[in-house]
Amino acid sequence: MRVSVVSTMLNEAKSLPRLLDSLAAQTRAPDEVIICDGGSTDSTLQLLDSEDRLPLRAILRLGANISQGRNAVIEMATGEVIASTDAGVRLSPQWLEKLVTPFEDAAVQAVAGFFRPDPQTVFETAMGATVLPEVREIDPTRFLPSSRSVAFRKSAWEAVGGYPEWIDYCEDLIFDLRLRALYGPFVFAPQALAYFRPRPSLRAFFVQYYRYARGDGKANLWLKRHVIRYTSYFVAAPLIALAGALFAPWWWALYLVAVPEMLWLPYRRLARLWGSLSLAQKAQAALWVPVIRVVGDVAKMVGYPAGVLWRWRNRAQVPDWRKP
């Protein structure tokens, strides 16, 4: 079984060595590595050109979005199985081995790896705990993997029409959903781990989640989730405040139920992530959690309508990706 590892990147010179080092240390070596650069202005291309530990090819596609870059390298790939990852990650030594072993069964078409935070600051520790699930929280029958840790047969990629090039974010979700609709749930390989750094600042996090939510709006994804979020912030929360002011203060006790519900999972994850942090750093991380949660919700509530507006303005050109 020939396996091609693919990725696409832009201006990743600082993080690229971690990816290349971890690819070179795999217990199951890739048969080829193909990386698309979207037009980096740093030393990304020089680092790729100087890599001599891997059977690596780099291609340049100026201005390509993520889907265009991925499709370009997959089209060039000679492997029967495609393993996808992202710049900025550090792969566990057994990542590729665990990810491709299920393909020994000819019926398997797609395998979902997993990911874990690799924080380097107190803020990043809180970020990882707030936004990234633990493996125990995953339902393998419903899990949709990030393209930082996923593998699929090239024939399956062809069957679903590749990654959707009309959208800039959430492209891997649409690709996953089309794969699942055609072949059923992904085989889950939780030991195929990709470690990555969460966003290093609140501003970077806001931009990230704004773009994700805008992608949801463009693709008409997760409408129910977004409606619940708007209802919680703009209907339920004001009504509780009003009821407490007009009728009885005990109505405000409902906040004591809602807030722990929002923060229970992040704090449970944080207790497993903060490791050797000092007591003061642990307190700092705990204080960051509710801030990150609210900022993420605000970013989604701003980004989603922007995506919906884009979809309405471009309705004649946006394909119905749910159709076979």
Helix 202-219, helix 171-183: angle, nearest 10: 50
Quote the mean pLDDT of the chain.
95
Could you read off the pLDDT of 218-262 as tens digits, one per residue? 999 999 999 999 999 999 999 999 999 999 999 999 888 888 888
Query: What are 5's strand-pairing partners?
Result: 33, 83
The pLDDT of residue 94 is above 80: yes
- pLDDT band of 96, cuts 50, 70, 90: very high
Provide the pLDDT for residue 256. Answer: 85
Provide the pLDDT for residue 287. Answer: 97
DSSP letters spanning 175-213: HHHHHHHHH-SPEEEEEEEEEEPPPSSHHHHHHHHHHHH
The pLDDT of residue 88 is above 90: no
Provide the pLDDT for residue 22. Answer: 97
Could you read off the pLDDT of 9-20 as tens digits, one per residue? 999 999 999 999
Tokens of 81: 């199985």
User: Alpha helices of 31-110 — where are they, by DSSP H?
Assistant: 44-50, 66-76, 95-100
Asked if 59 and 161 touch (Cβ cutoff 8 Å), the reply is no
Q: Determine which of 34-38, 204-208, 252-256, 263-267 has the lowest per-residue pLDDT on average.
A: 252-256
The pLDDT of residue 276 is above 90: no
Could you read off the pLDDT of 103-112 as tens digits, one per residue? 999 999 999 9
| Among 113, 131, 216, 205, CA closest to 168 | 216
Contacts of 274 (CB under 8 A, 6+ apart): 125, 281, 282, 285
Arithmetic mean of pLDDT, 279-285: 97
Could you read off the pLDDT of 116-164 as tens digits, one per residue? 999 999 999 999 999 999 999 999 999 999 999 999 999 999 999 999 9
Provide the pLDDT for residue 259. Answer: 82
Could you read off the pLDDT of 178-212 as tens digits, one per residue? 999 999 999 999 999 999 999 999 999 999 999 99
Cα gap 282→288, rounded to integer Å: 10
Tokens of 63: 């201005």
Per DSSP, the three-state class of 97 is: helix
DSSP letters spanning 55-66: -EEEEE-TT--H
The pLDDT of residue 324 is above 80: no
